[in-house]
Amino acid sequence: MSGSDRLEASVIESVFDAVAETAPEIRAALPGRRVESDRENPSGETVMAADVHADELLEERIGLIDGVSGYASEERETVVDVGSEPKLGSESRYAVAVDPLDGSSNLRSNNAMGTVVGVYDGSLPARGRDLVAAGYVLYGPITTMVVATADGVREEVVTRGGDEGVERSVVRESISLPSDPVVYGFGGRVPDWTDGFRVFAREIESELKLRYGGAMVGDVNQVLTYGGIFAYPALADAPNGKLRLQFEANPIAFIIERAGGAASDGTEAILDVDPEELHQRVPLHVGNEQLVDRLEAAVESGQ
Ligand SMILES: O=P(O)(O)OC[C@H]1O[C@](O)(COP(=O)(O)O)[C@@H](O)[C@@H]1O
Ligand SMILES: [Mg+2]
Ligand SMILES: [Mg+2]
């Protein structure tokens, strides 16, 4: 292994160690943080106290990792320079982009939420093809972490061990999307969908079962588990949809592609989208390849 390969492997391992160690703390702190903070994020959304807390914990832990030069989050205007000279040689060139708490509007109703992380080889904003790893934590009835690297996709269960340590056990390895899709979940109000997307949705309704929980991580995990399609599409008053390219769409697209699926903005692969700014939004359609292909055809013909 060359020096730069060693650095990359060590950065990826350290990022997921940090995320796994932080997840039980993020979860344990939720009950007292189901209220709005006095802040708005760069996307113009009101930030919950739990969003702020998760972001602070992750910045502190990820910022310490040897070889990581930048930390960016949905909740911060600019990339935080956390660079140091890596001990393993090579330059410190990796940037980590995080959605500290995905689906935080589910806090009030006590439904699923997640944490999304992307490890980019380069400075942000970057193309999804520059990701070297991505993953998410799902705070469901149990806490799981899905990790995707060049080697494939795995799912771990994360629990608090003795003396506040964290235990991780791999429960699924080499995950690939089931070839016979079962579920779908689409965000946004139906009247705001484009004509092409509505036509596609009508077809899918008679083929698959609806599973929509309002947290992208939870909804995507249904697709990863049972096969199917998740979308937060372009809307009449929001042509770029709701989800953010760097923090949400790219990491999810990376995971689903590694699991044998596809992800599209409606015309091209999410991972090929050239970023213009850190917080830009993008329509996201992700799942089994044949469904994403059909979606692209329908969206194109309906515009
Ligand atoms: O409430 P809506 O419009 O269905 O939107 C739900 C979508 O918004 C999100 O909550 C946005 O993520 P954040 O909670 O991180 O802002 C996604 O997780 C989810 O897919
Ligand atoms: Mg989110
Ligand atoms: Mg969020």
Residues 128, 246 within the same domain: no
Q: Is residue 29 part of a domain?
A: yes
Domain with residue 253: its CATH number is: 3.40.190.80
Average pLDDT over residues 15-19: 98
Give the ligand 1 atom nearest the CA of 100: 15
State the pLDDT confidence band at 86, using cuts at 50, 70 and 90: low
Residues 209, 70 within the same domain: no
Number of the ligand closest to the Cα of 105: 1
Per-chain residues with Cβ under 5 A from ion ligand 2: 99, 102, 248
pLDDT of residue 303: 63
Q: Which of 242, 243, 279, 285 to mutate to test the pocket of ligand 1 (most atoms within 8 A of CB)?
A: 242
Phi (first) and psi of residue 271, to 5 degrees = -65, -15
Asked if the model's pLDDT at residue 216 lies above 60, the reply is: yes
Give the ligand 1 atom nearest the CA of 215: 18
Domain with residue 43: its CATH number is: 3.30.540.10
Collect contacts of 147-156 with beta carbons under 8 A, ≥24 apart: 147/16, 148/254, 148/255, 148/258, 148/259, 149/12, 149/258, 150/258, 152/258, 153/224, 153/255, 153/258, 153/259, 156/20
Asked if the model's pLDDT at residue 91 lies above 90, the reply is: no
Give per-residue pLDDT as tens, 235-293.
999 999 999 999 999 999 999 999 999 999 999 999 999 999 999 999 999 999 999 99
pLDDT of residue 302: 77
Q: Is residue 261 classed as helix, strand or coil in its secondary structure?
A: coil
Q: How many CA atoms lie within 13 A of 163 on its CB side?
A: 0
Residues 226, 275 within the same domain: yes
Average pLDDT over residues 179-188: 98
Q: Which of 46, 105, 212, 230 to mutate to test the pocket of ligand 1 (most atoms within 8 A of CB)?
A: 105
Residues 100, 198 within the same domain: no
Q: Is residue 207 part of a domain?
A: yes
Host domain of residue 57: 3-172
Domain tally, the chain = 2
